[in-house]
Amino acid sequence: MSSKNKKTPDMENGFLWNTSTEYLNNELPNIRKKSINTVETYRRSLNAFIDYMEKEKGVSRLKICFFDFSKDNIKSFLIWMKDTLHLSEKTCNLRITAIKSLLSYASEESINITPIYVKAKEVRGVNVPSKKIEYFEDYQLGALFNGIGNETKTERRNGMMLILGYDAALRVSELIDLKITSLHIDAEVPYITVLGKGSKYRNVPLMNKTILHIKKYLEEFHPESDMQAPLFYAVTHGKQHQLSDDTVQNMLKKYADKSRAKVHMPEYIHFHMLRKTRAMDLYQEGCPLPYIQQLLGHKNISTTSGFYAFATLKTLADAIEKANPTKNDKKIWKNEEMIKKLYRL
């Protein structure tokens, strides 16, 4: 075949399958450290799109290529999922995210895929109705920590993970990526360095009680100071290895289930709830949102306020009580200057 007639990667069926296989079997689990569940979710999402292209668009899987991952096809796939299959907004958006993520990876492998990826990014997901923020109430958080136990080494490790996860408002990926070198407990203001989303680092101060727990933990779990060792680990065949996010998620669910016999617990438990609980606690104590934004590592303040800046019944009642003038107070809104300020566009 002459070079003039040779197919470019965006038109090659083999390039699609080879790239997708490498992405799912190596890039996601080994490079990006995604959990088995996440990888399988992405795999199902991509297969769902390929099935759609074959059954609804008549594009054989023996001939499908990245050229078929066009903006129009992705958009019609989204509409089909929503209007024909009646899938949830979250499921629809997750599948579109998986497609965009694969295209992003493929564009790094071949410049021919870049225009396809750029156009695909223009596809907007389905609007997801806002719902109540999921976090632990004080009594639930107390029951969770009290149920951990302290008898075995695993329990002591788990307890330390929950304490640090809550205090530093960590994502589960941030927790398992911590190393000894991430700790700065001897600094004037003790803190940890966290690798967050977008490979961006942030420094998070720690409470004095947490520092005491960390020092005790290090004495037991890291008597020899290998600064690059994972802070939290498991041992398999005599070798230490980093924990998976599934291990941490299942650990939290186990302790939550254990607490259900004593207190009411949310139906669906996930590690991110500790992060939201910490932020909510700080918010209700009057911590300014920009400080919470810095703690959480949010790029935009709108993300922080969108999650946490809603008033609980008590918060709202306290604010109304504080704002409500007494009978002897002069109503400032009757002041001429105040009227001018209020009645402005």
Active site residues: 171, 197, 272, 275, 298, 308
Query: CA 124 to CA 129: how far, in whole Å?
Result: 15
Give the contacts of 44 (CB within 8 A, at least 6 positions apart). none
Tokens found for residue 85: 């299959």
Which amino acid makes up residue 204?
V
1: β partners: none
In terms of C-beta density within 10 A (0-12 exposed, 13-18 middle, 19 or more buried), how is residue 272 classed? middle
What sign results for the dihedral spanned by CA atoms 255, 258, 261, 266?
Answer: positive
Rounded to a whole number, what is the largest CA-CA distance in the chain? 93
Give the contacts of 107 (CB within 8 A, at least 6 positions apart). 113, 114, 116, 117
Rg (CA), the chain: 25
What sign results for the dihedral spanned by CA atoms 227, 233, 239, 244?
Answer: negative
Q: Give the number of other CB atoms < 10 A from CB of residue 23.
A: 24
Tokens found for residue 34: 């995604």
